[in-house]
Structure formats: C-alpha cells, structure tokens
Structure 1
Amino acid sequence: MSYLRRHMKTTLFRRNLISSLFIAALLSTAGCDTIGPLVLQSSDVSIDAYEALSREWVRWSVSTPYADSPINDVTGELCGVGQPDGVWFLAATYGGQVERDCTIPANTPLFFPLLNTFNVPSDAWAEANYDYYVNTLAPNYLADTRAKTCELTLRIDGEDLLEDTAALDAELWVAVTEPFSVELADDNWWNNNGFTKPGGAYGYAVVGGHWALFKPLSPGDHTLEFGGKTCNGEAVAFETLAVYHLHVEHGHGNGHGHGHGNGHGNGHGHGNGHGHGHGH
C-alpha cells in the first residue's frame, strides 16, 4: 500500500475516532459535570476525552504547513482549516493577542488549549533514551511548564467560567506522557524559527497544557476569550490571548471541516498552540 493511501486511511480512522469519542462523551452529559458550556474532568469519560483530544489537537496543529496555520491567523479566515468531524479545534497564538471571527457548524463541540506545550523528539533519540524520556524528561518538562503558568483566562460572553487561575489550573490541566505519533508538515514551526526538523512521521510526541472542552454553543453570536501567561519569577516569559467572535450556525451541523491543520514548532517557550522540543 502506498504512503498516501496509508496516510488517508489513518487520517480517516482518527477522525472517526474523534466523532465516536464525542458521541460518547458529549451526548451522555449525565456522566459529565459542566459549568456553562465547559465540560469538567469529573468522570472517566470526560478525562479520557480530554486526553484523547489533546493528542488529536497536536496532530491537527503540526500536520499543516506553517504558512496555513490557524495559529498564525490574524483575522479568523483560517479557522476552518483541517477541522475533523465531530469537534471544532480552536487555537490562540505563538505569542501576543489576536481577535478572530469564526463560523462554527451547529451542534459542534469545541476543544482548545488556554496554554499548552508539547515535545516531538526524533524517533532515534527517543528510542535510545526511552526510559529517561518517558519516566523523567517528559513528566518533568510538562510539570515545569505547569509550575510556571501564572495566569489563565477562560471567558464566554463576558463571563468567567471559573473564579481564578488556581481553579482553572486545577480543573483544566492535562498531561499526556505516553508517547503518541504525529505527522509533521515539511513547512513546520521548527523550520521557520531557526531549527531544522524534517517533515514526516514521528512516534514519540508528548503534550501537556490547560485545555477546555465545550458542549455545542447555542446558535447565534458568542464571544470567547482564552489564553494565559507563563512567568519566570515576577517576569512574564510568554503570553497569549485569543478573542474569538463565534457565529454558530442554525440547523443540524455535524462539525465537518475542510482543509489542513496547523504547522508547529520545536524549541523552548510556552503558548497556546506552541510546539516545543529538545532539538533531537
């Protein structure tokens, strides 16, 4: 079987998996606690959904050329790029504030990171250092990112969904330290930011961050604000804020999207939609 056919079958499988996860997780909300549209990590179903969707968001973000990345989008015109069936992914920025307009199909859940970080080492390095990577480096790397998070924002239609950063941290933190596969675009964050990282398949990605899973919003217009900051002591090291003017369609939308995805990066730093690595 050709690489293209294998890749298409894998992509289709993953998109069907996402749809199945959301049918299970979001149509059975009796098993999930919520605050407004926010699904809390209060059950095995919602915890599994958060972890699975964190992986899929990373795959989505790194699989599209950097030039087409919704993370780089300054207007919202790229918000539909690469969207899978069953859920709609949003992104913030590689740093700084952005304001976007985005039309969302009816009856479509949203998933996005306030702040996140991930690592995509080379397979050769990860295999040679597997125990150290999985048991020490990756957990410590993600824990350090969490410890440096000094502000988180999550607001819908002018209302904060949780009272403060401490509450957001406790409820929204997700760490996936079991390695998973990704497919990097040739035109990726690394190759646009002073690093060299070939496109292609990588098998040992990990991810951590503060994520939000929303039930479908009511039809009409909504304003969603999310982001955060990391600090070194009193100094802000990184900050991001996305303000989305969402236009939720009426009807029987299924979350089906079109396009590519997001290019992403290697290197150190923090951010919503920001990629990291150790350059291996």
Structure 2
Amino acid sequence: MNGGIGRAGLVGMLLAALVGCGGSASGDADGSAKTGTASASPAESASRDRLSSEVLQSRWWTWAASEPEATNPVADEDGRECGRNQPKDVWFLAGTFGTRAERICTVPGGVPLAFPLVNLVADPADCAEFMSAAEGSAVLDGEEIDAETSRGETISVDGVAGNPVTGTGERFTGTGCGIWVQLPPLRSGKHTLEIRGRSQDFSVGVDYALTVESA
C-alpha cells in the first residue's frame, strides 16, 4: 500500500493498490482542478478534473490515514468502509496491506476517481529503490486503463492517532511515489475494477464491484 511509516513496515510502508487521498480529511480543494464547463470537450473536462501528482498523493495519503484500523478503507475487507471521509471533488479507492480483497462500493455520479496501483511514502532513496521494481495494472470493465508513474514528490500528510497507515496523528512531510490512476466520472450503473500492484516482495490485489449513482 504505501510507504515509510507505521504499519508501513511492509514494503516500507503502505503500498497501496488503494485509491485516493486528500490534503485534508475533508477533501477541500487545495490545488484540485475544477470540472469543465458545459461547452468543454470530454478530453478537456477530464484534464480539468485531474489533480497534480503532489496534490493527489498528499490528499490520498491523508484520506487513507483519516480512520483507525477498525474503520480504515485500506484494511476494509468487503467495501463497507469505502465511503469514509470521501472529499466532494474526487472519490478515492484503496488497496490493501499486502492481502487480496473483494469490495462492493457505491460511488456518487459525476465525480472522478483516483487510486494507486502501488505506492509508498518514505525518503527519496527508498522511493528510488521501490519504484525500480514497481509495476501494476488496472482493468475497468474488462479493459486495461492507463496509469501514471510518480518517482518522487514532496508531500504532506495528516493522520488520526492510531491509524494503520501512518500510525500517527501528527502532520508530516515525506517523499511520495507510486503508480497512479485518475479517471473521469464513470457512467451511471455497475462497473468492475481490478487493481493489481507489486514491488519487490510486496503485492496487493483488489476487485471492486462499483455501482455509480446518477449524477
């Protein structure tokens, strides 16, 4: 899932085939792009919905660290916690702590999705080593989708005390890296999403059954 702290001992931390995070648990905009106007093309709208790598990783890690283990979306086994602390402008998905999971999740319509295939927060040297072996894939409704590689940006993370991702309730900065996916809003209805990621001896897999509500 991702990396560098707390239960993050796993691959240095919390590699996440998870998804999403927030610069604040409330997910307020801080650098997020706005939705396109009615006259914008689908490509332009999708581009405007995208977050920069630094903002995406800061926000996703903060989201992933916003709940203690019992209700944490990374530790979630069946999807019942997928709506916890979601921001209004993006819907984050999560991976696991190195296990496999099958999750059922309802997503609001008209909201873009974001998630990592595998990720880490640590120091620059750890990120360089981690990314040298990182790989992953995301398959939406039977079609593989594009991912982006982040080899290291400085990010800020806020967590709650006792969360299993960072293990701390304090704010900290570190180097974030990973393989990430950002998707424009999905059409309403049912979708399948398969997330796979690995680096070194850490691997994660999540199968999502998503129901997207009407916008």
The one of 43, 55, 59 equivalent to 2:58 is 55
Deviation at 1:73, TM superposition (A): 0.9
Give the letter for the 2:95 counterpart.
A
Distance in 1 (alpha carbons) for counterparts of 2:25 and 2:192: 31
Could you tell me how far 1:200 is from its partner in structure 2? Answer: 2.9
- The amino acid across from 2:150 in the alignment is V
- The corresponding residue for 2:117 is 114
Matches within 5 A, 1:8-19: 14-17=27-30
In the alignment, is the contact (CA less than 8 A) between 2:49 and 2:112 conserved in 1? Answer: no
Identity percentage over the alignment? 32
| Superposed CA RMSD | 2.7
Q: Distance in 2 between matches of 1:102 and 1:80?
A: 8
Aligned partner of 1:242 in structure 2 is 206
Which residue of the other structure, out of 63, 87, 96, is the alignment partner of 2:90? 87
Q: Is the 8 A contact 1:51 1:174 kept in 2?
A: no
Find out whether 1:205 has 2:171 as its counterpart: no
User: SS of the counterpart of 2:194?
Assistant: strand
Which structure has more RCO (C-alpha within 8 Å, separation ≥ 6)? 1
8 Å Cα contact 2:25-2:66 kept in structure 1: no
Which stretches in structure 2 are left out of the alignment for 5+ residues? 1-23
Aligned mates of 1:101, 1:22 — CA distance in 2? 28
TM-score (norm 2): 0.77
CA–CA distance in structure 2, aligned partners of residues 228 and 109 of structure 1: 21
Cα distance change of structure 1 residues 47 and 78 upon mapping to structure 2, 3 Å threshold? closer
Using structure 1 for the length normalisation, give the TM-score.
0.60
Q: Secondary structure at the match of 1:58?
A: helix
Unaligned runs of 5+ residues in structure 1 are 1-9, 33-38, 120-137, 163-167, 192-196, 232-236, 253-280
Determine whether 1:174 maps to 2:159. no
Aligned mates of 1:68, 1:223 — CA distance in 2: 23
More helix by share: 1
Letter in 1 for 2:154: E
**Superposition pairs for residues 175-194 of structure 1, below 5 Å?**
175-180=151-156, 182-189=157-164
Shift of the alpha carbon at 1:152?
1.1
1:21 and 1:46 mapped to 2: Cα distance? Answer: 5
The equivalent residue for 1:23 is 35
